[in-house]
Chains A and B, each alone.
Chain A
Amino acid sequence: MTDFMWDNFFRRNQNEKDLARVLQKNFLFQDLNALELHLVERIVNIRHYQPGEVVFRQGDVGVGMYIITKGVINIYVEEIIPETGAQKMTHITQLKQSEFFGDLALVENNGLRSASAVAQQECELISFFKSDLLEVTNRNPTAGVKILLRLSEILGTRLRQTTTRLSELNPKPTPTGGSR
């Protein structure tokens, strides 16, 4: 009985350490010190998903992001084929441990998910929602600013990548206008 209690006590501590390690490794929380990380640890939720379970669906209102601590998540885009009207699921990417998804929902207001996320195997995810970001910013503005700066960096990088891809698709510059 005593062993059982001690085992659980240390397992809890181990889980907390695991959570701290995963958060610290994540790009979004890399700048946080131990105290700020502890605040984030107390705010986030840990969710478990079975194989085939949907994390969110394309078209749902997005409320936040997820970090994968265990398992693999598949991202699909649902399309309707105009000729037949049938629904087609296109596999976009596969995300593994330490990767994250849904981060745009942290800055969008009632934006809708552009893809569906489905667990391929048993998964453990850390959810960090817009309300959690607001709570961090409210209780520790320095930590909030550090997270927001990292988030801006991610969004800036994505914007640059998108611009580059668009330029590659349309390589001939117009004679009158230049790009910035």
Chain B
Amino acid sequence: MGSVRRGLIVEKRIKLFFFLVALLLVFLTITQVQNMLISTLFAVVTYNLLAPVVDFFERRGLSRTLATVLPFAFMTAGVVVAVVVLLPSLLDQLRSLQAHFPQYQKSALDLLHQLEEKLGQTVGNGTTLPIQARIEGQFSHLAEVVFQQAPEYVSSSLAILFLAPFLSFFMLLNGRDFLRGLLSIVPNQYFELSQNLTHQITSQIGGFIRARLIESIIVGLLTWAGLEYLEFPNALVLAIFAAIVNIIPYLGPVLGFLPVLLIGFSGGGYSSELLWAGALFLAVQVIDAVILVPFLVAKIVDLHPVVVILAILVGSQLMGIVGMIICIPVVASLKVTAAALFRHFTGFRSSQDLII
């Protein structure tokens, strides 16, 4: 009996070792290979967006391969149409934004200078607040990031553009088999726990990503339509930016409005155009909070606002704006994992609620 027990322990250790090595290899590949982290993130988002469509086609009797190829064909066609229709306008607006940036910067700094003077007078005699000097440095940094580093991002984004769909295609086609293969080397003792954890994390994060993405697309479309109606300059670029940063809870809507504020001030202070744009952003946020969030996002990932804020702070410190966007799904996964582990290891052993 003793030799059997020793054999079991050795087998368990070997399996656990191979499972951890496999996990480590996956982690290292994602984090260390160039462009792999961003490509994987995009692939996960695409996977979660298309998985219900693939399942739908499969339910209609198509094979898994055909059910995966079809949505990809539709998506590619959609991207091509969007690029053909929107890219010229988007490039024009980006060039115009780049050309006018010094003017926007100057107007905003003038306004801040006036504000600084007024505040100085209000606070006390001769007191000066160094707001302008601080913000000026931030503006220069922002311009450098947006207009000088952007081409570098574009060159790496070409790699991402090919790698992300490639990864998501195989995630949809064989992702479950891959996970099953990975779980097959988990020792028997941890098999039920790992299977349960994988299911909980994938279903919660999948729902969260889909909800947030649909929410952002609707926010972007509403903002674009509104800004075009107001004939606000660079409406498409501003709407895309607002849609992307809207993913960041609480802070996103404010960040999305900042460029609008900057452009609005270049018109010489509080113009009616700026006020209408402000009202538009407010209305979109009300629609988001009253209609979209309760229907799409609420109850999918239940995190306390303080946890959300702390997660955003940590995310921004570690990875900047990308960190702010991905921190919530990461924290949600950690919460689901911790809750499942806690339940598994501390489950009370009373006769109540027992099943076989």
> Residues of A with Cβ closer than 8 Å to B?
42-43, 45-47, 49-56, 58-64, 75, 78, 101-102, 104-105, 108, 110-115, 127, 129-131, 134-135, 138-141
Contacts and interface: CB of A to CB of B under 8 A. Distances in A.
Given A51-B4, A52-B1, A60 B355 contact: no
Contact of B5 (A52, A113, A130): A52
A101 B356 CA distance: 7
B74 interface: no
A64 B8 contact: no
**Nearest 10 CB-CB pairs, A to B?**
A59-B349, A114-B354, A131-B199, A111-B355, A104-B355, A63-B196, A114-B356, A63-B192, A108-B355, A112-B354
Contact of B188 (A53, A62, A105): A53
A112 B4 contact: no
Contacts of B343: 61, 110
B353 A111 contact: yes
Size bin of chain B's contact surface:
20 to 34
Nearest to A110: B343
18 contacts: A45-B180, A46-B184, A47-B188, A52-B1, A52-B5, A52-B8, A55-B188, A58-B349, A59-B348, A60-B192, A60-B347, A75-B356, A101-B356, A110-B343, A114-B355, A130-B199, A131-B195, A138-B55
Interface in B138-178: 176-177
Contacts of B183: 45
A18 B351 CA distance: 38
Contacts of A54: 188-189
A50 B356 contact: no
Contacts of A75: 356
B4 A50 contact: yes
A104 B195 contact: no
B59 A113 contact: no
Nearest to B191: A47
Contacts of B344: 60-61
Contacts of B8: 50, 52-53
